[in-house]
Amino acid sequence: MRPVVDETLCIGCGTCEDVCPDVFQLGDDGLSHVIAADPAATCADAGCCEEAAEECPVDAISIID
């Protein structure tokens, strides 16, 4: 499972970064980005990607199998 951020929907609220800081980070552009080198492995280890997607107020995060 791999997280993807739709930058056209992201409002830069930082919720995903708060919930899952090993995977998501707000960039200089004010939008969320996947920062993990291996997001699938990091999501499996951290166990927070699905929660970050669920908590996103604009549904900008998708989890792809």
Instruction: Please state the pTM of the whole predicted model.
Output: 0.90
Q: What is the CATH number of domain 2-64?
A: 3.30.70.20
User: Is the predicted pLDDT of residue 43 greater than 90, yes or no?
Assistant: no
Residue 3 in this model has a pLDDT that exceeds 90: yes
Domain residue spans of the chain: 2-64
Alpha carbon distance 27, 32 (integer Å): 6
pLDDT (0 to 100) of residue 42: 84
Q: Which residue has the higher pLDDT, 2 or 61?
A: 61
pLDDT, one tens digit per residue, over 9-30 is 999 999 999 999 999 999 999 9
